[in-house]
Amino acid sequence: MIYKRSSELFAEAQKVIPGGVNSPVRAFKAVGGEPVFIERAEGAYLYDEDGNKLIDYINSWGPLILGHAHKPVLDAVIEKAKKGTSFGTPTEIETRIAELAVKMVPNIDKIRMVNSGTEACMSAVRLARGFTGKEKIIKFAGCYHGHSDSFLIQAGSGAVTFGTPNSPGVTQGTAKDTLLAKYNDLENVKELVEANNDEIACIIIEPVAGNMGCIPPAEGFLEGLREICDETGILLVFDEVMTGFRLAPGGVQERAGVKADIICFGKVIGGGLPVGAFAARNEIMDYLAPVGPVYQAGTLSGNPLAMAAGLAMLTELDNKREIFESIEKKTEYLHKGMDKVLTQNNVDFTINREGSMISVHFGKEPVTDFDSAAKSANLGLFNKFFHGMLENGIYIAPSAFETWFLSDALSYEDLDKTIAAVDKVTKDF
Ligand code: HOZ
């Protein structure tokens, strides 16, 4: 493939944007080479600036469940834009999308819109602290909840990709209030809770982790966290930025049958536009300003264009629930196909999957937490795999610590092409 135009654009970008990108993983530093600049996208495909067509397994890091430039979403945004782009006042559509979210997601009475998953998680933790009057939080190594200070302690994803799991700029004071637990290890959580008796506001978790590859929760793990929280008055916060409205209409809460106290959303709820949200039962949400004392605000929160995209997306997911089954079947097909060719090619691998999220790890051992994800990351092999796939027209995330997200726009022919590419690329591994 030719990437001449992408290369020129990257050179220009680096002069005026740090590293040439507005989010680090996009720079391809983890996999080497230069990023591909995308010109447009439609359905299951990205079209780059050099005219290459790529089958997309990132889908804007999760939200584009129905594929790129999905017509009902586009039409809704275009119609809305004709009426103005931002007012900083209440609008009817904010209530309509909130009503739909409250209907689809178990266990929430109210929802507050923000602009990103980072903002949602940051605000959820402030609310948890305000509500409980406690300061410490427990997060899990390898879980990424956006880039606000409290969370940049052993964050997965981009942070670990660049070898800076604890970012400079985060003060000691902030770091000391973030307690770090091991994913899928209930005993470890219990020890932390006991050692910090009565000081913990919340446990925040990606209930299916997606930022150290895809790591599903072990049986009983989420239930165990719920029990700990019930016994201690700690709030359980599910970061469903990647999983909400993707793994089931009601996200992991519905899929696993475990209720959280506060749920964070992002990406999907905006249909691919910049939206995040957090939601809970009345008692908790009424702690927020202007009703309660916990402050949180934003001019672009509930922006009409973003709400129009989100409402169109959620409406379609709500009305056509067969989409969830369809996309999961496609992911299972891909899983089985990759499993077969990787086995035939004698590659050491582990594939993790939950619903329409999947990741390939180049090691034999099970990947169940951050340590095992790091051990099996095999960066040399992953980089070879990544570039081989790209050369064959398949765009996966440029980091061994990210998850692949499927869209329902993918055809079985696309999946077969992907499996054939995996076969070709790993033949000489
Ligand atoms: N590490 C982020 C997703 N888990 C990357 C987001 C982006 O670059 O857009």
Do 211 and 63 share a domain, yes or no?
no
CATH number for the domain that contains residue 303: 3.40.640.10
Domain count, the chain: 2
Are 359 and 267 found together in one domain? no
Same domain, 247 and 190: yes
Q: What is the pLDDT along the chain (429 residues), one digit of tens a residue?
A: 889 999 999 999 999 999 999 999 999 998 999 999 999 999 999 999 999 999 999 999 999 999 999 999 999 999 999 999 999 999 999 999 999 999 999 999 999 999 999 999 999 999 999 999 999 999 999 999 999 988 887 666 565 555 455 678 888 888 889 999 999 999 999 999 999 989 999 999 999 999 999 999 999 999 999 999 999 999 999 999 999 999 999 999 999 999 999 999 998 999 999 999 999 999 999 999 999 999 999 999 999 999 999 999 999 999 999 999 999 999 999 999 999 999 999 999 999 999 999 999 999 999 999 999 998 888 889 999 999 999 999 999 999 999 999 999 999 999 999 999 999 999 988
330 and 219 in a common domain: no
Ligand 1 lining (C-beta closer than 6 Å): 23, 25-26, 61, 144, 157-158, 211, 402
Active site residue 333: no
Residues 260 and 362 in one domain: no
Atom of ligand 1 nearest to the CA of 158: 1
Query: Can 144 be counted among the known catalytic residues?
Result: yes
Per the CB < 8 A criterion, the answer to whether 119 and 298 are in contact is: yes
Same domain, yes or no: 50 and 141: no
Residues 336 and 414 in one domain: yes
Note the pLDDT of residue 378.
Answer: 86
Domain interval for residue 127: 72-319
Residues 311 and 229 in one domain: yes
Q: Is 239 a catalytic residue?
A: yes
Q: Which of 177, 185, 175 is nearest to 205 (CA)?
A: 185
Q: What is the CATH number of the domain that holds 30?
A: 3.90.1150.10
Q: Which two tokens stand for residue 85?
A: 């782009």
Look at residue 92 in the predicted model and tell me its pLDDT: 98
Same domain, 279 and 375: no
325 and 378 both lie in a single domain: yes
List the catalytic residue out of 239, 369, 408, 414.
239
Where a domain ends, among 271, 301, 319?
319
Torsion of CA 162, 44, 326, 280, to 10 degrees: 50
User: Is 199 found in the same domain as 113?
Assistant: yes
Residue 89 burial class via C-beta count within 10 angstroms: exposed 0-12, middle 13-18, buried 19 and up:
exposed
Specify the pLDDT at position 157. Answer: 59
User: Domain ends where: 276, 295, 319?
Assistant: 319
Tell me: do 277 and 141 sit in the same domain.
Answer: yes
Cβ contacts of 92 within 8 Å, gap of 6 or more: none
Of 292, 319, 346, which marks where a domain is finished? 319
Q: What is the pLDDT of residue 209?
A: 98
pLDDT of 286 reads: 98
